[in-house]
Structure 1
Amino acid sequence: MRPRRLPPCLAGTALSAALLLLLLLLCTSSSYPPLLAWPSSSGASLPAPPPPRAEWGPARPPSFAYWISGTGGDARRVLRLLRAVYHPRNRYLLHLDAGAGDEERKALAAAVRGEEPAWREFRNVDVVGHRYAVDPTGSSALAAVLHGAAVLLKVGPHWDWLLTLSAEDYPLVTQDDLLYAFSSVPRDLNFIDHTRDLGWKEHERFEKIIVDPSLYMDRNTEPFLSKETRQMPDAFQIFTGSPWLILSRSFTEHCVHGGDNLPRKLLMYFANTAYSMESYFQTLICNSSDFRNTTVNADLRYFVWDDPPGLDPLVLNESHFQNIVNSTAAFARRFEDDAPVLKKMDDEVLNRSPVQLVPEVWCRNLGKEQRGVASESCLKWGDINTFRPGRAGEKLRQFISEISQTRGCG
C-alpha cells in the first residue's frame, strides 16, 4: 500500500510543529550554548557563582529569574527596565529578536558589561546573542520563552521563580518590595491567569490551524492561516489566559525537562495555535496532577482594556497613574518609550532617575554626593540577603498571601 500523503496545508502545520519541538530540544542541549554577554557564560562551563555573601535556601530570601524581551529599537528600553528591576540576588536574560540588528544586540551586551559596576561585580545579567525570529501571535513566541527558561535553568542554580517581561512593561514596586512579598508564600506556587471558559477562542484560536514562519525564517514573519480546521481535543482540556507568567522553578523544569510526555505533546499541538503563549502553560499546568494545585489564578499585572477588549491592552499614560499605584499589581503594561508616566513612576514609586538603579538595602549610596559629585551608579555593596520593604511591599505581600489561599484550576 502506498503511503498516504498529507495535504500541503497539513504538511506545513506538521513541519512547524516539528520545528518547534526541534528548537526546544536544541535549547536544552548542552551542545548548543547560548551566546551571552559574559565570556564565562558562553562556554560549556557555568558562569562564576555570585559573591559568597549571597545566601540561598528555604530560610533565606527568594530569587527571581527575569526573561526580558524586545525587538528592533528596544535596547535602550530594555536597559531602563533592567535598571528598574535589578537586584544582585536575581538572574536576568535579555533578548532582542530578529527585528533588531546585530549591532544593536552587540551594543546591548556591551552596555551590560560596562555601564553598571554592580552588573560587572555580580555577573547576573546575560544577553542572548543568537539571532532568531519571533512573532507574538504565533508559536515562535512560545519557543523563545522556553529557550529563555532553558538557559536560565542552566546558568542560574538558585532562583525560585521565572518572571517574563517585555520592553513595554514597568515595575510598580521595588525589588525589596517584591522579594519581601514573595517570601511569605511557598516557592512551588505558580502565578498564572487562567480560565477554561474559552468562549469565542474555541473556534478562532483552537479549531483553526496556523503556521508561524518565524519558526523557520530569519526575520520576524506573521503567521498564515491554514484552510483546514481541526476538532477540539479530548485527550486534555484547554485553558487560556494571560501570556505574562510567574512560574516556579520546579514547574519550569517540568516544562523544559519533564519526564512525562505531556509537555512535548502539548508543544506539538500549540505549534499551530494562534497566541499559544496565552494557552500552553495554562493547559500544561491544569492538566498535570503534580502541579495543578500549585496554581494561583493571577498574573500580578496591571492592564487597562478597551470595551469591548481588543487583542492588546491600552497604552498607559499619566491619566492612569493614580489607578496604577493604587492597584495590587507588581508590574504594568503597555507603556510607550520615554512616556512621561514612566518618569513619574521613577520619581514617586521607585525613587530613582531613569539612568539609576533603584536605591535599596544592598545599595544605599545612589544619588548621594561622593567627592562633590552625585553618584549615578552603585559603587559600594550592602547586605544583599536583607531588604527593607515600603508600604507597596506590605500591600503586595498581603494581596499575594490572600490570593494564594485559593489554588487549582477549578
Structure 2
Amino acid sequence: MCLLEGTKCSFLLCLGMSIIICSLIYLRTWMPTELQPSQPNSPAASCRPFSAGCKAFLPGAEKGVEWSRRDCQVEGYALNGGLQCSNLTRDLHFITKPLSLEEEAYPLAFIVTVHKELELFVRLFRAIYMPQNVYCIHVDAKASWEYRRAVENLASCFNNTFLSSKSETVTYAGFSRLQADVNCMKDLTKSKVGWKKVVNLCGQDFPVKSNWELVQYMQSKEWRDRNMTPGVKQPVWMRHRTHLQHKEITGSHVVPKGPGLKKGPPPHNLQVYFGTAYYALTRDFVGFVLKSPAAHDLLEWSKDTFSPDEHYWVTLNHIKGVPGSHIDGGWEGDIRAIKWRDQEGRAHSGCKGHYIRDICVYGIEDLPWIINRNSMFANKFESKSFPEALDCLEQWHRNKVLNQATVPVEPSWLLATQIQSKSSGSSGSFALVRWLSLSKWEREEIKLRKMG
C-alpha cells in the first residue's frame, strides 16, 4: 500500500513537472520573438552598445535609462537568401503599415543608387521604407553578384520595391550617374503607386526628417507645386565642365578628351545652371524629362560633360513653363546636410570624422550639427569607419518616426528597447512597448491628463 502510494506520488510529481515545463515552452513560443530575452549566444547579445556620446540624443538618460540595441545582424540577414519574407521584415524591424492618413494620401517615390556597403544600404532602406511609397534600386553593374543577389532578395520581399530594369556601370562625375536616375524614372512612371514626388539617394545617405516630415515639407506652401533643385547660374570657374569635351573612363573617372577640345553651345539656347545632384521632383516634371525634346536634347548634349547631374536637373527646372519650375529658387531647398572641406569655418566647424573627396564622413560628434540643421537627408556615412554615428542617428530617427505615428506601434518596429537601471526597479522595455502601442492621440491625451 505504502509502495503504491509512493508510486502514485512520484507519478503526480512527474506529471506536474511536465505540465510546468510544457507551459513554459508554450509561453516562450507564443511570446513575440521581438520581446523574448536574448540568449548569451544570440545575435542580440553581441550587439554593439550605443556610445556614451549618443546618450544626449536618446530620451531617458537623465533617469538612468539605458538603450539596448536589438539589431546586429543586418548584413547577415540580407545575405541569407533562404529566409522567409515575413521573418525578414519582422527581424529587421521594417515598418509594415502607413503611420498616418496624411502619409498614406501622399506617397513618395525614391531612387537609390548603390554599389557597396550592403549593411548601410539595408539600414538606409529600412529607415526610408513605408508601405505606401515606391522604391527603385539601381545596383551598379560593377557591383559583385553576391551584392546584387542580396539586394534582389531584399527587394523581392516588398511589392513596392524593385531593381532598375537597366543597370549602368556608374563612374564618379560621369554621365552614367545621371543615366542611372533616368533609367529609374522610366521604371517609376510604370508603377501602379500614385506617387507625388520623387527623391534620389545614394547608398551613403541617411534620413534626418521622418517620412511624415518629408510629406509636410513637400506639401508646404513653398514647395507644394514646385521642384526642389538647389542651384544658381553656372559660375565662371565651373564653365570648364560644360565648355570642354570630356570622356568617361568606365567605372573609374572622367577626363578631358584632349587639350582645348571645346563643346558647342547648349541646345535650345538654354542657360546652364550649376547645383546639387540631389532633388525632389514632381511627377509632371518627370513626365517632361522623359518626353520633352528640350530635355532629351540637353541629355544628349550632356554626355561628354563633367558631372552632368549637377547641371541637368537644375537647368531644366529654370525653363519657364516647365511643370513645377522654380525660376528664382537659388539654393533654396534643404535637401542634404553635407560638410564640405572648403566650407570649414563658415558653414560648419570642421569634420569630426574624416574627409573623402572633400566631403565629411560623419563621426558621432558631427550629429548635433546634422540634427540641428534638420535637412531632409545627411551625407555621408560609413558603417565601418564610424559605426557609432550611424547607430545613434538611426535610433534617434526611429524614435522620432514612431513618436509621430498616429496608429498603434507594433513591437517589431523597435530597433532598441529601454532598460531601466536596477536601482529604479521598473521594467522599462515593456513599459516602452505599452506606451508606443497607443496611438499618437492617445499618448497626447495621457500627457494632458498628467499635466492637468
1:265-294 deviations in Å (ceiling 9; x for gaps):
101111111000000111112124334744
Question: Does 2:179 correspond to 1:150?
Answer: no
Task: Give 1:246-285 correspondences, 5 Å limit.
Answer: 246-258=280-292, 261-285=293-317
Unaligned runs of 5+ in 2: 1-80, 82-96, 345-355, 418-428, 431-436, 444-452
Instruction: Give the aligned partner of residue 289 of structure 1.
Output: 321
1:67–1:148 contact (8 Å) kept in structure 2: yes
Q: Cα deviation per residue 1:19-76 (whole Å; 9 max; x = unaligned)? A: xxxxxxxxxxxxxxxxxx9xxxxxxxxxxxxxxx98xx999732210001111x3333
- Which residue does 2:342 correspond to in 1? 307
Structure of greater Rg: 2
Question: CA separation in 2, counterparts of 1:86 and 1:360?
Answer: 14
Task: Quote the Cα distance in structure 1 between the aligned partners of 2:278 and 2:408.
Answer: 29
Instruction: Label 1:268 to 1:102 Cα distance change in 2 as closer, same or farther (>3 A).
Output: same
- In the alignment, which of 181, 199, 217 is matched to residue 236 of structure 2? 199
Cα distance in 2, alignment partners of residues 308 and 182 from structure 1: 27
SS at match of 1:66: strand
Is 1:222 the equivalent of 2:253? yes
The aligned residue for residue 47 of structure 1 is none
Structure 1 unaligned residues grouped into runs of 5+? 1-36, 38-52, 215-219, 376-381, 391-410
**Cα distance between partner residues in 1 of 2:102 and 2:370:** 32
Instruction: State the secondary structure of the residue aligned to 1:190.
Output: coil
Runs of 4+ in 1 over 6 A off after TM superposition: 57-60, 356-359
Given that 1:176 and 1:387 are in contact with CA atoms closer than 8 Å, whether structure 2 keeps it comes out as: no
Q: 2: distance between equivalents of 1:358 and 1:253?
A: 36
Pairwise CA distance, 1:129? 6.1
For 2:130, what is the secondary structure of its paired residue?
coil
Aligned amino acid, residue 256 of structure 2:
L
CA RMSD of aligned residues (A): 3.6
| Residue aligned with 1:268, SS | helix
Distance apart, 1:360 and its partner CA: 3.8
Q: Which amino acid aligns with 1:162?
A: V
CA distance, structure 1, for counterparts of residue 174 and residue 403 of structure 2: 35
User: In structure 2, what is the Cα distance between the partners aligned to 1:198 and 1:232?
Assistant: 16
Q: Distance in 1 between matches of 2:104 and 2:269?
A: 41
Aligned to 1:31: none
Q: Work out the CA distance in 2 between the residues paired with 1:89 and 1:99.
A: 31
Distance change (3 Å), C-alpha of 1:128 and 1:231: closer
For residues 92 and 361 of structure 1, do their structure 2 counterparts lie closer, same or farther at Cα, with a shift above 3 Å needed?
farther
Q: Distance in 2 between matches of 1:249 and 1:100?
A: 30
Q: Which amino acid aligns with 1:96?
A: V
Instruction: Give yes or no for the alignment of 1:169 onto 2:212.
Output: no
Q: Is the 8 A contact 2:227 2:326 kept in 1?
A: yes
Q: Which residue of 2 aligns with 1:190?
A: 227
Equivalent residue, structure 1, for 2:269: 235
Equivalent residue letter for 2:142: G
Specify which of 112, 118, 125 is matched with residue 68 of structure 1.
Answer: 112
Aligned counterpart, 2:396 = 348
Q: Secondary structure at the match of 1:68?
A: strand
SS in 2 for 1:325: helix
Distance 1:312 1:61 in 2: 40
Q: TM-score when scaled to structure 2?
A: 0.60
**2:37 matched to which residue of 1?**
none
How far apart in 2 are the matches of 1:222 and 1:130?
21
Measured after TM superposition, the shift of residue 363 of structure 1 is: 6.3
Counterpart of 1:200 in 2: which secondary structure?
Answer: helix
Contact 2:288 2:322 in 1 (8 A): no
Q: Any conservation in 2 of the 1:172–1:325 contact (CA below 8 Å)? A: yes
Partner of 2:305, secondary structure, is coil
* 1:82 and 2:114 are equivalent in the alignment: no
In the alignment of these two chains, the number of paired residues is: 308
**What is the CA distance between 1:81 and its match in structure 2?**
0.4
The answer (yes or no) to whether the contact 1:97–1:131 under 8 Å persists in 2 is yes
Q: Call closer, same or farther: CA 1:69–1:90 in 2, change over 3 Å.
A: same
Select 1:298's aligned residue among 326, 333, 344: 333
C-alpha distance in 2 between matches for 1:84 and 1:311: 26
Distance in structure 1 (CA, Å) of the matches to 2:146 and 2:236: 44
Contact 2:138 2:167 in 1 (8 A): no
Q: Which amino acid aligns with 1:66?
A: F
Q: CA deviation at 1:128?
A: 3.0
Distance 1:222 1:328, change over 3 A: same
Q: Which residue of 2 aligns with 1:30?
A: none
Aligned-pair distance for 1:82?
0.6
Give the match for residue 4 of structure 1: none
TM-superposed deviation, 1:199: 2.5
SS of 1:195's partner is strand
TM-score by length of 1: 0.66
Structure 1: which amino acid aligns with 2:232?
T
SS of the equivalent of 2:113 reads strand
